[in-house]
Every structure is written in C-alpha cells, then in structure tokens.
C-alpha cells in the first residue's frame, strides 16, 4: 500500500510537470506580444517521442541490454525526435516567423515535457509486466 501511494504521488507530479510544459507552449502562442500559433506543431513531437521506446520494449528481450540493435535504433530515433522538437522553434525564430521570446518559452516547455516523459519511463519501468500476455 505504501508503494502504491508513492506511485500515485509520482504520477501526480508527472502530470503537474507535463501541464506546466504545455502551459509554456500555450503562452508562447497566445500572449498578445507573440500571437502566433506556429509553435503548436511541437505537439506532434510530444506524441511521437515515446513511440520508439514503446516499440523497443515490446520487441526486444531486455531493454537494459546494450547489445540490442533494435534498442539502439529506437534510442537514435527518439534522440532525433527530441532534437527536432528543440530545433523547430529555433528555426522558426531565425526566419522571423516567431519571436525569440516565444522560442525561449517553447524550448523551456520542451525541456519540461521531455523530462516528464523520461521521468515516466524511469518511474514506471515495470519489469514484471509481460507483453506476451497481449
């Protein structure tokens, strides 16, 4: 019961952190001095980033093994998605599509959301969950 309450606290903290990151993203779009909704395309990266890790956990024997080519490929894809999510607002600001203040808010929101996703996979890495039961 005590462990269950720790998981609930961790889940509530992760939900708060994710809401904070998305709030930064919405502020970068909706504040009157920015008033540009192009940074919302970062939401696609938020949805795509956990997919390679889920695939690696589903199809590899052990995720902790460093010799699995599938795990290494999925880590490579996840890294590319995260770098693209950080690079998109920088490119948009460089081409004067958005302002640099909005870029800073989007990048800070990215850091918070991707840290939350990483924290979710660290906290809820259930080794006893078996995908073969599906």
Share of the chain above pLDDT 90, in %: 62
The residue to which tokens 């809820």 are assigned: 124
Average pLDDT over residues 21-30: 96
What is the model's pLDDT at position 64?
A: 56
Q: Mean pLDDT for the chain?
A: 86
CB 17 within 8 A of CB 116: yes
**Of 16, 46, 20, 8, nearest to 123 (Cα)?**
8
What is the model's pLDDT at position 130?
A: 47
73 vs 8: which has the higher pLDDT: 73
* pTM score: 0.84
Burial group, residue 74, by CB count within 10 angstroms (0-12, 13-18, 19+): buried
Q: Give me the residue spans of the domains in the chain.
A: 2-27+38-127
How do residues 44-86 score in pLDDT, each as one tens digit? 999 999 999 888 888 876 555 556 788 889 989 999 999 999 9
């Amino acid at each position: 019961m005590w462990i269950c309450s720790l998981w609930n606290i961790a889940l509530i903290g992760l939900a708060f952190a994710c809401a904070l990151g998305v709030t930064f993203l919405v502020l970068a779009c909706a504040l009157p001095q920015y008033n540009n909704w192009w940074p919302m395309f970062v939401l696609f990266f938020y949805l795509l980033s956990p997919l390679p890790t889920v695939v690696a956990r589903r199809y590899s024997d052990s995720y902790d093994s460093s010799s699995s080519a599938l795990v290494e490929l999925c880590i490579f894809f996840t890294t590319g998605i995260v770098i693209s999510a950080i690079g998109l607002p920088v490119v948009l600001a460089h081409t004067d599509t958005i302002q640099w203040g909005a870029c800073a808010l989007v990048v800070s929101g990215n850091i918070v959301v991707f840290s939350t996703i990483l924290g979710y996979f660290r906290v809820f890495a259930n080794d006893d969950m078996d995908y073969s039961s599906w």
